[in-house]
Amino acid sequence: MVNRLKVNTILKKLESYYLKLKEFMPITEEKLKDFKEEYAVAFLVEQIVNECINLGNHIISERDFELPSSYKDIFKILAKEGVIQKEIVDDLVELVDIRNKIAHVYGYVTKKDLIMACEKIKVVEKFVKGIIKYLNLNFNEKEENS
């Protein structure tokens, strides 16, 4: 069973990071010349993607879906199982690519990578809406059948 407390905790973290990132918007190369802003934006992008990964992993494991072999697979599996829209998977996968650059090879993250991530980060709203819709349907079904 999906742990509502865990899901709510992840959703609150996601919202907090997302709102903080929006304070930097719109992201431009000029803004990113300030290394503090560049590092803050990179950190927030990484954390937002990490929380999406955590949320997706939790749902996959609790629903006994196919196990992902990579972070990118999490979103593909969620789409295949009808949890999220298939149309948002490519953007989520691109965000994982940028997250991986930030997390593992920081020096290779370009300002263009961060700008692109901030343009695509809006997909997280659709991701969250899909998760909430899916979980509400499943929680209601389970409660009605109990």
In 3D, which of 137, 143, 136, 135 has the Cα closest to residue 62? 135
The tens digit of pLDDT for each residue in 8-42 reads 999 999 999 999 999 999 999 999 999 999 999 99
d(CA 78, CA 57): 9
Written in H, E and C, the secondary structure of the chain is CCCHHHHHHHHHHHHHHHHHHHCCCCCCCCHHHCHHHHHHHHHHHHHHHHHHHHHHHHHHHHCCCCCCCCHHHHHHHHHHCCCCCHHHHHHHHHHHHHHHHHHHCHHHCCHHHHHHHHHHCCHHHHHHHHHHHHHHHHHHHHHHHC
- In this predicted structure, the answer to whether residue 145 has a pLDDT above a threshold of 70 is no
Residue 75 tokens, joined: 């979103």
Res 142: pLDDT: 44
Tens of pLDDT, residues 116-138: 999 999 999 999 999 999 998 66
Q: Assign residue 127 the CATH number of its domain.
A: 1.20.120.580
C-alpha to C-alpha distance for 44 and 26, rounded to whole angstroms: 14
What's the domain range around 127? 4-145
Rounded to two decimals, the pTM is: 0.91
How many domains are there within the chain? Answer: 1
